[in-house]
Structure 1
């Protein structure tokens, strides 16, 4: 049996999608995690890196990646965060769109709020992928 693959997509792949990927990797190591952006930034948002480090998750080594059709095809679950029509759609995939504020240009306090909201959504996602018997 192959592992479930989850793809997180946002515009720049520098904040929201990277924080979500970091939480899912940490909280559910049996799930394969991908993240990408429709217009990737040059680097991860340093405030997102700082906010995640505060909860013991290091995303500093991640690099924004360009969203590819292949990444969507190989994913079971695709979670978008504001990328709109740039996200390819394939039948048979589970799609969710998480409405989250963009941490770009924000200070640490609002990014902590976004981080904590993402963590709650990740916990819900894990529960839906690992239903209790």
Structure 2
């Protein structure tokens, strides 16, 4: 693992789960990890319920915009975390992959999005611990 690993979060619309995960990782890791997110069919904007759920925990993701998943972004990422993007997610030999099965917050109200946000935080914390251990073992 490089000195500053890069993590790519990918879901279909890059508007909910991947944006919340990227927000958590930026918040918890600071500058120690390069955070990326993208979608196979990006939405026009980040899901307002995801924005509100993250705002409730003090994380502002209003400046984020859904981005199209590009081959080069995936190819140059150290860890790729997929969240329901199916066959649209490219596979590169030697990359670390995780597939997080999470409910889709699209079309859901804030009460349904909060538990998704909290589950994402738990998974991001675990990933961050594993990245730190990998760097220490280096």
Task: Calculate the TM-score normalised by the size of structure 2.
Answer: 0.94
Corresponding residue for 2:7? 6
Q: Deviations over 1:45-72 (max 9, x none)?
A: 0000000000000001100000000010
Comparing both structures, which one devotes a greater share of its residues to helix?
2
Q: Does 1:50 align with 2:57?
A: no
In 2, the alpha carbon distance for the partners of 1:61 and 1:110 equals 23
Unaligned runs of 5+ in 1: none
Give the CA RMSD over aligned residues: 1.1
Residue aligned with 2:10, SS: strand
Residue aligned with 1:90, SS: coil
Shift of 1:112: 0.2
Corresponding residue for 2:98? 96
Correspondences of 1:16-95 after superposition (within 5 Å) = 16-29=17-30, 30-95=32-97
Shift of 1:2: 4.2
Aligned residues: 133
TM superposition outliers: structure 1 runs of 4+ over 4 Å: none
Unaligned runs of 5+ in 2: none
112, 119, 122: which is aligned to 1:117? 119
Residue aligned with 1:95, SS: strand
